Amino acid sequence: MDDLLREFLTESAEHLDTVDAELVKFEQDPNNETILRHIFRLVHTIKGTCGFLGLPRLEALAHAAETLMGRFRDGMPVSSASVSLILATLDRLKAILADLEAAGTEPAGGDADLIDALERMSLGEAAPAPEPVLPEPVVRELKPGEVSLEDLEAAFLAAPGPDEDAFAPPPAPVPAAAAPRAPAAKPVAPEAAAPKADVSRSDVSTPQAARPEKAEAAPAEGGEAGPVKVQTIRVNVDTLEHLMTMVSELVLTRNQLLEIARRHEDSAYKVPLQRLSHVTAELQEGVMKTRMQPIGNAWQKLPRVVRDLSAELGKQIDLVMQGAETELDRQVLEVIKDPLTHMVRNSADHGLEATAARVAAGKPARGTIRLSAYHEGGTITIEIADDGKGLDLAAIRRKAVERNLASQAEVERMTDAQVAKFIFHAGFSTAAAVTSVSGRGVGMDVVKTNIETIGGIIDIATNPGRGTVFTIKIPLTLAIVAALIVRAGAHRFALPQVAVLELVRVGADAQAVERINGSPVLRLRERLLPIVSLTGVLGQGSGEPEAQAAGFVVVAQVGRQRFGILVDEVFHTEEIVVKPMSAKLRHIPLFAGNTILGDGAVVLIVDPNGVARQVSQGVQGAAAQAEAEAAEAEATEATTTLLVFKGGGGGFKAVPLSLVTRLEEIDASTVEWLGGRPLVQYRGRLMPLVPADEAIAIRSEGRQALVVFSDGERAMGLVVDAIVDIVEERLDIEIGAERSDLIGSAVLRGRATDIINIAHFLPLAYDDWARGPKRPVETATLLLVDDSAFFREMLSPVLKAAGYQVVTAGGADEALAALQADPRIAVVVTDLEMPGRSGFDLVAAMRGGDRRLAALPVIGLSGAVGAETVERARALAITDLVAKFDRSGLVAALAEIGAPALARAA
Amino acid sequence: MQAANANGAETGPTEDFVTVHVGDTLFGLAIERVHDVFVPSGVTPVPLAPPEIVGLLNLRGRVVTALCLRRRLGLPAAGAGADGPGAGMAIGLEQGGETFALVVDGVGEVLKLGADSREAVPINLDPRWRDLTVCVHRLDGRLLVILDVDALLNFNVTGAEAA
């Protein structure tokens, strides 16, 4: 393949990409002549060159497309169908170009279909077109680099191609001279001038746009060669890469020289060396610059993608792009291209709601995806924001627990941002349940991996109903980074400085590293920081001899995960040239590459992402184990999930998890005292705090753990010393506590644990809690049947709070007696699994009894709601089935039975 | 180098081999694959790497992956710290644009050998060795095992799936 052809291929590919993007813009703004002219010119260039190189197939296609665009230019209305047709033509052109690149010749075949369609489109609607064509509204001196319309026309006509009759008489610029005098045209002029100025600017500043016309259009278009000289040249990427490698070597050599000069006092070297150092630095910067490309290059295809998606999904989508001129290393650009496309696709597909849903939610019908990029320090920040529905965090929480990614307790305590991160877990996103509910994420794990391979980080912020923002931070370049040189064991390693937050000295005479079950942690400003020792993760740790860890902790942050890396010694920071790992070693996730230091030694570059993964894998392993244990426990017995906490005098207390709304850790300084009672602002409301035991004092500093209970709009924070665990165990309560704040005690995980009585605490928080804030059916009496005194005790206050008079019974017989005795009973809540006569027997007896009992609504409580249970329940006309510990479900079910039924019964 | 090699072949088809030894065995490497012979120094071990890899070293500004022929062949480490830095010699090999250093006990002369002394790989050889060997040449008093350089460097099967 000759050079001319090769050059043509690269340029045409670029042109076509630009045309793609421009056409989409044009479709939205059909009156923008600047865009149209730009497109026209690009397509024309392709056509011209094809003729020149003897590529008839390409030329014919380009010609047909050009003709249709000529019609647009002459004022034919722009329809979506016609733009689609042109886009299809461009796709065909690209396909032919690809074949051309592979084979060196134009592939055989015809394009009569497209050409026919194009011609029909241009002819069919051309007939009514020749009304007075939109005159050129602007008459002014051409700026340098601009081409007058006449020149352009001349160029078009001069270009090879049988287009004589396809063209309408060229819209002579002559009428334009009259235009400024026409009153209507006058206000248009300044507006139209602005985009023109834009064109000329972009011609100079963005080489992509300018280069093609300048460098290559020359043979076809004499008029194109304006007064602007050729400012750019095309350089082979390999040449640049080689240059970069050589500069890297130079940097290394300079570092070596500096190292030597440091050891020798001979000052004769100092000055020239200093000079060499500066020149090298500048050279390095200059070469780096040649590798820089505007991020817009990676965005080029997006308008087209969004347009197609928008048509396909039937959503109206605006794509807003800001900061397309932000430059970054081409290597980085290559890597983020696909993830970006993927994420924009995701935002359009899942992030944005359907138009109808948007309107219903009171949002503008057109969804917006905003893509922005800007420099920030040594990194580039890219944001992809949509104004869609946001992530369904509840579903993600649920899914995370289901998939054993975190335990219930952890998930409860996590912030929304942490929860959102679960979508990056491999396989998480692909799970059908989450994608259909939460909407996000096929392949988000791949996106994350891609971004992490170039040392980038990705973050999510989501706002329910308002949208989701993905933030990507990536380094400007991969080639040279600042790194901290550290020693671990016998060897030195380099740690990229972007991930390093601070250094903390630890050891006998400084701060000590503490251990929890062997896992080292460090107290850092009142927070615990998990620590890994570098020798440990590298598998060089010699067992457990480092009881007294000494050295430095490098505090690193990856995404939102913060952890410490324990190293033995910290030397200095150095600009290092990152060399890729050998293919034989690339599978080791802990290394990002290697480099040669000033003294000539090879050191490995530790990948903070890899270390972070190791840190969290340890955590996950433990969590999974706990889950497995829990699952095992569940299998053997019907169990209750209890939240265990420390409260008062070091004793353990527990409360059924089902009653708990959330676990919180608040900053103790946010506790306020009003009228002698502690309060805290919680989710925009005031929440009273009640200590779980008299012995607990609310902390005045540091973190305070809370167990939040809520009921409708009210919430109460139970102050505890520390949340210990969530256990799932069979509950054998020994009732008998004399204290009203305790139901009794039980043995949980081998520890005597007090089970607290929430009913005791709720009134302490709100005097009127027991009375209930709203009681539509105050007089309704409810019979609660459960063989377990504990559950009777537990549920009674809840039901009372919901506004019922509660009568309890410990078994079916007792319940029947109570029903006979108390005609006020309007609804029955019964445990279905009871020893002796079960709940089903009770209901069966009721249904067989007198009319009042037979018609009574019944809610069944069941530990396991299986198909069989549902079947039986239906047969007995049980109104609703509720899982045994689902307190809110029970209240909701009661509310559903509703006032009418109860009132009637009452 | 290849061209010069072909011209030098005057007396029948001969091939040039760089001989190296590990323990008592003499090995030959096709000379066109050998780019360098040097004394390895300043080897940086790579934690978690496959056992064959000794580490990385700086060869005139290039980072080179050093692998130990002894370990590659499944031989026990020689008594006196044979694979420590400074011990023995290294052969610079290239594959797929990457440079590798093959650490051996010692490097001998370059031999020009014809087809007359060439023998197929004995079938009773250890399978591990069999995969790495091309043929065997009968020399005076000893045997020269010709190694397949590509096979030598192609050991990352286990690591690839992890990556």
Write out pLDDT tens, residues A537-551: 887 665 444 555 678
Predicted pLDDT of residue B12: 67
State the pLDDT confidence band at A377, using cuts at 50, 70 and 90.
Answer: low
- Chain A: closest CA distance from residue B41 (Å): 10
Q: How far apart are CA A880 and CA A870, in angstroms?
A: 9
Written out in words, the top-level CATH class of the domain with range A781-905 is alpha beta
Predicted pLDDT of residue A126: 43
Calculate the dihedral angle through the C-alpha atoms of A127, A128, A132, A136, rounding to the nearest 10 degrees. Answer: -70
What is the percentage of chain A residues whose pLDDT exceeds 90? 1
Residue A104 has what DSSP assignment?
Answer: S
| Selected residue with higher pLDDT from A902 and A451 | A451
Residue-wise pLDDT tens digits, A665-723: 888 888 888 777 788 887 777 788 888 777 777 777 778 888 887 766 677 888 888 87
- pLDDT digit of tens for each residue in chain B (163 aa)? 444 444 444 456 788 999 998 888 899 999 988 988 988 888 898 888 888 888 999 887 788 999 898 888 888 776 544 444 446 889 999 887 788 999 998 898 898 888 888 888 888 888 888 888 889 998 888 899 999 988 888 875 443 333 3
Which residues in chain B are contacts of A583 at CB distance < 8 A? 96, 98, 156
Q: How far is CA A36 from CA A25, A72, A211, A586, A829, in A?
A: 9, 8, 19, 49, 73
Q: How far apart are CA A33 and CA A78, in angstroms?
A: 12
Residue B151: helix, strand or coil by DSSP?
helix
Q: Most confidently modeled of A578-587, A610-619, A806-815?
A: A806-815
Copy the structure tokens of residue B27: 């090995």
Contact yes or no for B58 and A584 at CB 8 A:
no
Report, as an integer, the average pLDDT of A20-48: 78
Q: How far is CA A841 from CA A259, A683, A729, A808, in A?
A: 89, 46, 27, 17
| Selected residue with higher pLDDT from A417 and A216 | A417
- Chain B: closest CA distance from residue A595 (Å): 8
Q: At A677, phi and psi to the nearest 5?
A: -115, 135
Residues 832-891 of A with CB under 8 A from B: none
State the pLDDT confidence band at A424, using cuts at 50, 70 and 90.
Answer: confident
CA angle, corner A307, sides to A301 and A310, nearest 5? 135
- Chain A: closest CA distance from residue B37 (Å): 19
Q: How far apart are CA B136 and CA A422, in angstroms?
A: 58
Contact yes or no for A583 and B58 at CB 8 A:
no
Predicted pLDDT of residue A773: 44
Per-residue b or e along A58-80, where b marks 16 or more CB atoms closer than 10 Å to that residue's CB:
bbbbbbbbbbbbbbbbbbbebee
Residue B29: helix, strand or coil by DSSP?
strand
State the pLDDT confidence band at A620, using cuts at 50, 70 and 90.
Answer: very low
Determine how many CB atoms are found less than 10 A away from the CB of residue B109: 7
R_g over Cα of chain A: 37
What distance lies between CA A395 and its chain's CA centroid? 15
| Selected residue with higher pLDDT from A478 and A888 | A888
Non-local (6+) Cβ contacts of A658 within 8 A are A641, A885, A886, A887
| Selected residue with higher pLDDT from A737 and A559 | A559
Contact yes or no for A584 and B42 at CB 8 A:
no
Question: To which residue do tokens 């989701």 refer?
Answer: A468
Residue B120 in contact with partner chain A when CB distance is under 8 A: no
DSSP string for A382-397: EEEEE-S----HHHHH
Task: Check pLDDT > 70 for residue A46.
Answer: yes
Task: Check pLDDT > 80 for residue A384.
Answer: yes
Residue A511 has what DSSP assignment?
Answer: B
The burial class, CB within 10 Å (0-12 / 13-18 / 19+), for A272 is exposed
Task: Check pLDDT > 80 for residue A657.
Answer: no
Q: Most confidently modeled of A58-72, A605-619, A756-770, B42-56?
A: B42-56
Copy the structure tokens of residue A140: 């002014």
Q: How far apart are CA A252 and CA A677, in angstroms?
A: 66
Non-local (6+) Cβ contacts of B33 within 8 A are B93, B94, B149
Pick the CATH number of A637-765 from 3.40.640.10, 3.10.129.10, 1.10.10.10, 2.40.50.180: 2.40.50.180
Residue-wise pLDDT tens digits, A134-172: 434 444 444 444 555 555 555 555 555 444 444 444 444
Contact yes or no for B61 and A540 at CB 8 A:
no
Q: How far apart are CA A642 and CA A639, in angstroms?
A: 9
Residue B38 in contact with partner chain A when CB distance is under 8 A: no
State the pLDDT confidence band at A559, using cuts at 50, 70 and 90.
Answer: low
Written out in words, the top-level CATH class of the domain with range A294-475 is alpha beta
CA angle, corner A679, sides to A674 and A684, nearest 5? 115
Task: Check pLDDT > 80 for residue A740.
Answer: no
Predicted pLDDT of residue B66: 92
State the pLDDT confidence band at A879, using cuts at 50, 70 and 90.
Answer: confident
Beta strands in A340-405 (DSSP E): 367-376, 379-386
Determine how many CB atoms are found less than 10 A away from the CB of residue A105: 11
Residue B51 in contact with partner chain A when CB distance is under 8 A: no
Copy the structure tokens of residue A835: 């020893």
Copy the structure tokens of residue B39: 């004394």
Pick the CATH number of A237-290 from 1.10.287, 2.60.120, 1.20.120, 1.10.3470: 1.10.287
The burial class, CB within 10 Å (0-12 / 13-18 / 19+), for A30 is middle
Can you say whether the dihedral through the CA atoms of A217, A218, A220, A225 is positive or negative? Answer: positive
> CB–CB of A824/A854 below 8 Å?
no
A877 HSE (CA, 13 A, CB side)? 10
Predicted pLDDT of residue A158: 54
Task: Check pLDDT > 80 for residue A209.
Answer: no
Report, as an integer, the average pLDDT of A380-387: 88
Domains A486-578+601-615 and A781-905 share a fold: no
Q: In which element (H, E) is residue A898 found?
A: helix A887-905
| Selected residue with higher pLDDT from A565 and A329 | A565
ipTM for the complex? 0.80
Predicted pLDDT of residue A898: 64
Contact yes or no for B49 and A600 at CB 8 A:
no
- Identify the structural domains of chain B with CATH numbers, from first to last: 17-76+83-155 (2.40.50.180)
Beta strands in B62-142 (DSSP E): 62-68, 89-95, 98-104, 106-114, 118-119, 133-138
Q: Where are the domains of chain A?
A: 3-216, 237-290, 294-475, 486-578+601-615, 637-765, 781-905
Q: Which of A583, A590, A596 sits opposite B156 (nearest CB)?
A: A583
Pick the CATH number of A3-216 from 2.40.160.40, 1.20.120.160, 1.10.8.620, 3.20.20.450: 1.20.120.160
Which residues in chain B are contacts of A604 at CB distance < 8 A? 44, 46, 56
Per CATH, the number for A486-578+601-615 is 2.40.50.180
Task: Check pLDDT > 50 for residue A431.
Answer: no
Report, as an integer, the average pLDDT of A415-426: 77
Residue A181 has what DSSP assignment?
Answer: G
Q: In which element (H, E) is residue A813 found?
A: helix A812-821
Q: What mean pLDDT, rounded, does chain A reach?
A: 73
In terms of Cα–Cα distance, which of A616, A568, A592 is closest to A425? A616
Residue B127 in contact with partner chain A when CB distance is under 8 A: no
Task: Check pLDDT > 80 for residue A317.
Answer: yes
Residue A238 in contact with partner chain B when CB distance is under 8 A: no
